[in-house]
Amino acid sequence: MTALPGAPPAMVTAADGGGPGVPVPAVARLWPTGARPVVVRGWEPPATPYGPGHRGVDLAAVPGSPVRAVAPGRVAFAGRVAGRGVVSVEPAGTGDPPLRTTYEPVRASVREGAEVTAGEIVGTLEPATASHCPDGCLHWGLRRAGAYLDPLALLPPWLLTGGPSRLLPVLGVPLPPRQP
């Protein structure tokens, strides 16, 4: 995966993820944990298809917490893989082939083929194995066809930085005199 020079994370592209230079649209409307979590482990793309790396991000979360769809879309898979619960959602309007977000370990509360809205609960976080985030985390992944991508690229910049600036009233400062 390569980033366009000076581009925000939403413009990260993958040479093998649906064609060279295909951008990852910032379609997410919230974090899958609801509130902004601590990123326990970031995305580390492997140098080769079967090489070591981290094909997603781990977000600090307490087992039993709700897991939410980050964008509207269709549930592509809800079930168990290698003993862990997994939910995959194809966000709407993300091209052909579509992007696919994955959430694990999650006890699914949705069925394959269901349409979900941004923020809708898709499952409950299950306890992680002792070797993976012993204090609990959600592994959030992103793929386009066979290419693993950085799921943080789905988030608009204001979600990555903590939100837009807000102007507050200044109290205790006298107003200037009115001009005639």
DSSP string, 99-143: EEEEEESEEE-S-TT-EE-TT-EEEEEPPPPTTS-TT-EEEEEEE
Flag whether the pTM goes above 0.75. yes
Could you give the CA distance from residue 66 to residue 115 in angstroms, rounded to a whole number?
Answer: 18
10-residue block means of pLDDT along the chain (180 residues)? 36 39 83 93 87 91 96 98 95 94 97 97 88 83 92 90 67 75
CB of 154 closer than 8 Å to CB of 101: yes
Residue 11's pLDDT is 37
**What pLDDT is attached to residue 166?**
66
Whether the bond between 134 and the residue before it is cis, its omega within 30 degrees of 0, is: no
